[in-house]
A and B are shown apart, each in its own frame.
Chain A
Amino acid sequence: MARMKFLCDAERCIECNGCVTACKQENEVPWGVNRRRVVTINDGVPGEKSISVACMHCSDAPCMAVCPTDVFYRTEQGVVLHDKDLCIGCGYCFYACPFGAPQFPQEGAFGMRGKMDKCTFCAGGPEKDFSKEEFTKYGSNRLAQGKLPACAEMCATKALLAGDADTVADIFRQRVVKRGKGSEVWGWGTAYGKPDNPKAQPPQGGKS
């Protein structure tokens, strides 16, 4: 197994926000915190594209690099997680993340930053599996139940794919070949590395 990844197919996403709702419900995420959200490019313009964004569980995660208290760790499956007990809520990870994944609950009378909260790929955190502490701090641990993240499994159009990168890539490749378009995944270069030929242009007259 390679590593766990998300992939959002902009050709299929219909901006229903089902993934956002599924994540909120599954992990009982507090008000004001969105581990996942849907971003629409050219909203209202014909041909608009929507994409579901959360933590991309980067291979070289900037949040890990900037954290002054080193709360981040990467699991064997490539999922980037963090220990909330050590988080000081400084917000460096928020500024470093290109996807806006780290979220901070507004706590206290003066809206002080709480401990950072982000997508866990439904893998819980550094607490005993299925314990109350794990669920309260990090949410559901679906991976330990042999399940995939709730957002992807709930996606009605299967625009949002999750799982082993090889498997996800196979599914997406088959999809692109069948429909004959839409292979240019938004954010691919950032999440998976730069293409072999960065000067390559999409085919003229392509529909995607």
Chain B
Amino acid sequence: MRTTGRVLVAGIAMLAVGIVSGCGERSQVVEYKQGKYQGKTDSNPWDSAPGASLYTTSKWTGGDKASWESAIRTRSQGQNEYNRTE
């Protein structure tokens, strides 16, 4: 009987804490810090594996920065028609 009472009291206490914490106030505005980017973080272009998007022609290893840079460099050279024609 005493144990049941304790459990009941503990349950009511936990419920009360839960209800009160739900009434807590959370900041509704963004707190700006001067000179520092405040937005969401962005992922790196090499994080996604090739083929994650339709019509991807460049080949690199997902997550490997060096191989992505190499793929972009190869693609960039496509703009040089002297390389394409000679």
Interface residues, chain A, with chain B CB atoms under 8 Å away: 1, 68-73, 75-77, 81-83, 85-86, 123-130, 141, 143-148, 152-153, 158, 161-164, 167-168, 170-171, 174-175, 178
10 A-B contact pairs sorted by A residue (CB < 8 Å): A1-B72, A70-B38, A71-B38, A77-B45, A86-B30, A129-B52, A144-B53, A145-B53, A162-B79, A168-B79
- A117: shortest Cβ distance to chain B, in Å? 15
- B5: shortest Cβ distance to chain A, in Å? 51
Taking CB as reference atom, which chain A residue is nearest B33?
A70
Point out the residues of chain B lying under 8 angstroms from A123, CB to CB: 45
Taking CB as reference atom, which chain A residue is nearest B30?
A86
Give Cα A85–Cα B57 distance, bound, in whole angstroms. 32
Contact B42 A73 (CB under 8 A): yes
Give Cα A163–Cα B36 distance, bound, in whole angstroms. 27
Point out the residues of chain A lying under 8 angstroms from B69, CB to CB: 1, 164
* Cβ-defined partner of B41 (8 Å) among A85, A126, A164: A126
Give Cα A123–Cα B39 distance, bound, in whole angstroms. 16
Point out the residues of chain B lying under 8 angstroms from A129, CB to CB: 43, 45, 47-48, 52
Given A70-B34, A72-B37, A73-B37, A174-B82 contact (CB < 8 Å): yes
Give Cα A130–Cα B73 distance, bound, in whole angstroms. 22
Give Cα A144–Cα B49 distance, bound, in whole angstroms. 8
B24 contacts the other chain (Cβ, under 8 Å)? no
Give Cα A128–Cα B47 distance, bound, in whole angstroms. 11
Contact A152 B79 (CB under 8 A): yes
- A3: shortest Cβ distance to chain B, in Å? 12
- A73: shortest Cβ distance to chain B, in Å? 4
- A177: shortest Cβ distance to chain B, in Å? 10
Contact A76 B44 (CB under 8 A): yes
- List B37-70 residues whose CB lies under 8 Å from chain A: 37-48, 50, 52-53, 55-60, 68-69
Give Cα A103–Cα B46 distance, bound, in whole angstroms. 28
- Which of B39, B40, B55, B69 counts the most chain A CB atoms within 10 A? B39
Contact B32 A70 (CB under 8 A): yes
Taking CB as reference atom, which chain B residue is nearest A69?
B32
Give Cα A68–Cα B34 distance, bound, in whole angstroms. 8
Contact A147 B58 (CB under 8 A): yes
* Cβ-defined partner of B56 (8 Å) among A145, A153, A161: A145
Give Cα A155–Cα B53 distance, bound, in whole angstroms. 23
Contact A164 B72 (CB under 8 A): yes
Point out the residues of chain A lying under 8 angstroms from B45, CB to CB: 77, 123, 129, 141, 143-144, 146
